[in-house]
Amino acid sequence: MQYDKCGLTRRRALLGGAVACLGAAGGWAWTQDSTGGASGAASSHRALGGASSSSGRLHGAAASGRLGRRPAHASAGRPYSYRTRPYTGVPRGTVGRSGARLPTSVRQGAHLRLGGEDKRIALTFDDGPHPVHTPAVLDVLRRHGVKATFFVVGQCAQEYPHLVKKIAADGHLVGNHSWSHPQLDKLSVQRVEEELGGTSRLLYRLLGAPPSLARAPYGAWDRASLRICARLGMEPVGWSVDTTDWSRPGAATIRSRVISGADAGAIVLSHDGGGNRSQSVQALEHYLPRLLEMGYVITPVRVGD
């Protein structure tokens, strides 16, 4: 499918086409979260992009704070291919003086559902923010008075910081969806640190607090990335209802997948960025009031309690 990362192509074309869109067109598909991983608590506090690793320092964007630049792995001529419980005595979400969250326990895999048995559902939106579709999603959510979770891509958040702030100002939860949307289980440890650490650092600068949740692109967690996620104080989040809206199957199909998959504790995966998400917005306008009529409470993702 054609993939317009961060919605930049049109705007840059209007500016004369001097700079190519950072995203590359390509085909890809979502997969479910890996369940392989390590257990046990992370052993040290790591500041976002600033604390020491075993070698004494982090590398790339996560260590240097060069958030206005590409990560170190993004060489010239190589386009981006886009598309735990806390320690005992440490409340979940605790933030240290450096701005970093304290480490959480390393999970075996991503949380696929909300905790509890009450009739709650979490709506989640990936790959934004997008200059057209994110405001449209926010408008629908606002009209129905519900809160959702947005897993943002660092590059897009850097391009549209006002939209990240708008998401948070509307009361929604902002999570980490990596810096450039790679498949984390295919990366070196250093690269994963750059992808997750750089995005957490940027969100801390924009919102005054680092994210407590992370979602791996394509749901592709492995042992190393789960450890880094925990060191950064984030819970890994997956989904139980996949709308596959990235494939643009039609608003009616997206709506049907949400309604048929809805149950207590469900986490619904949709997208507000990464391409034309008009079908996703149209479907949301129909299935959201239906979910409310069915007695579901729409809530941001809450896991790890």
Task: Tally the C-alpha atoms within 13 A of residue 47's C-alpha that lie toward its C-beta.
Answer: 13
Rounded CA-CA distance 189/35 in Å is 18
Cβ pair 65, 199 in contact under 8 A: no
Residue 100's pLDDT band (boundaries 50, 70, 90)?
low
- The residue ranges of every structural domain in the chain are 5-90+101-298
∠ CA 281-283-286, rounded to 5°: 115
Cβ pair 85, 65 in contact under 8 A: no
What are the tens digits of pLDDT across the range 134-156? 999 999 999 999 999 999 999 99
Q: Which residues are catalytic?
A: 126, 271
Q: Is the pLDDT of residue 18 over 60?
A: no
The backbone torsions φ and ψ at residue 225, rounded to the nearest 5 degrees and listed phi first, read -70, -35
**Greater pLDDT, 84 or 127:** 127
Fold of 5-90+101-298: TIM Barrel (3.20.20)
State the average pLDDT over residues 115-125: 90
State the average pLDDT over residues 14-33: 33
Q: 64-73, 100-109, 122-131, 203-212 — which is least confidently predicted?
A: 64-73
CA-CA-CA-CA dihedral for 62, 64, 65, 69, to nearest 10? -90
Q: Is the pLDDT of residue 88 over 80?
A: no
State the average pLDDT over residues 281-300: 97
Cis peptide before 129 (omega within 30 of 0): yes
Q: Which two tokens stand for residue 257?
A: 């997948």
Neighbouring-strand partners of residue 152: 176
pTM of the model: 0.74
